[in-house]
Amino acid sequence: MSETQVYPGQEHTFSDIDETGLGAVDAVPDDRPPASLLGEAWRQLRRRPIFWISAALILFSVLIALFPWLFTSVDPRYAELSHSLGLPEPGHPFGFDKQGRDIYARTIYGARASVAVGVLTMLISVTIGTIVGSIAGFRGGWADSLLSRVTDVFFAIPFVLAAIVIMQIFKESRSIWTVVVVISLFGWPQIARICRSAVMEAKQEEYVTAARALGSGGLSNMLRHILPNAAAPIIVYATVALGSYIVTEATLSFLGIGLPPTIVSWGADISSARSVLREAPQVLFYPAGALALTVLGFIMMGDVVRDALDPKARK
């Protein structure tokens, strides 16, 4: 039969029918296993220009913080009053501040303290928050009630006021670790709440029930099945929170209760630039710009990671 016949309600023709009468299948079945959550997330991340821009900003900030001497050979603490508020010149592209210190060198070395505070605070806050939230969400009952009330107490304390009081106690012995401990003391409750909700949702899944039926213990279930599947919102929040911790350190240093003057930081330089803002705005512009770009990199990274790890956002 050479002509093509189409029957009502059918989308194929006689030419589509194979010799067995079952119909030819054009598509070849894909036997590849489905991509994991992280594999699918990476596939989506690498297609986003914002991901590469934020990754470049973060990598550049971390590189400066780890190896500042690769970018400048000038001592950021060296001051010469004859250069006070001097304009840019060869070897000093950003000019000088009120004390005659090189603004470019201070901007470069200021990344070390700010990024170090942000990373250390994030690690400590995530560790404490994950432990507290995991126990509360997995155990439930009285443990959940007790840990939730403790978390609420920390939420009720005004952060800036508490930080001022605590930092005044260590007024003579302030260091990077002092600032890290103070910020971490009030940074973990939000992560604990996020982790608690994620764990409570993950422990209701069928694979956790199946693992429990096969004899998997509580700790094994938590480490092998629940936490890996509850990690996505924690990773997203930790990425965004890292940028906010850097801003918090700058705020405390701006108020004069953060890092001591002996440690170069962006917040301290922004604070000292207030008195000369009208006559020499560049003294404020460069450390504030470096702070803004670094925080922007972490915030943008948090946004794209959230979109990649959240199935609802992908839909």
The pLDDT assigned to 218 comes to: 65
Q: Name 84's Cβ contacts closer than 8 Å, sequence gap at least 6.
A: 96, 97, 98, 99, 100
Q: Give the residue-averaged pLDDT of 38-44.
A: 75
Percent of the chain with pLDDT over 90: 21
For the chain, the structural domain boundaries read 34-314
**What is the pLDDT confidence band of residue 71, given thresholds at 50, 70 and 90?**
very high
pLDDT beyond 80 at 131: yes
pLDDT beyond 80 at 175: yes
pLDDT in tens, 81-109: 888 888 888 888 998 988 889 999 999 99
Specify burial of residue 291 (Cβ count, 10 A radius: 0-12, 13-18, 19+): buried
pLDDT in tens, 272-292: 888 888 888 888 899 999 999
Q: Which residue has the higher pLDDT, 205 or 201?
A: 201
- Report residue 171 as tokens: 């007024």
The pLDDT assigned to 38 comes to: 66
Give the distance, in angstroms, between the CA of residue 165 and the centroid of all CA atoms in the same chain: 27
Would you call 296 helix, strand, or coil by DSSP? helix
Q: What is the DSSP string of 213-249?
A: HTT--HHHHIIIIIHHHHHHHHHHHHHHHHHHHHHHH
Q: How far apart are CA 88 and CA 91, in angstroms?
A: 8
Q: Which residue has the higher pLDDT, 152 or 32?
A: 152
The answer regarding whether domain 34-314 maps to CATH 1.10.3720.10 reads yes
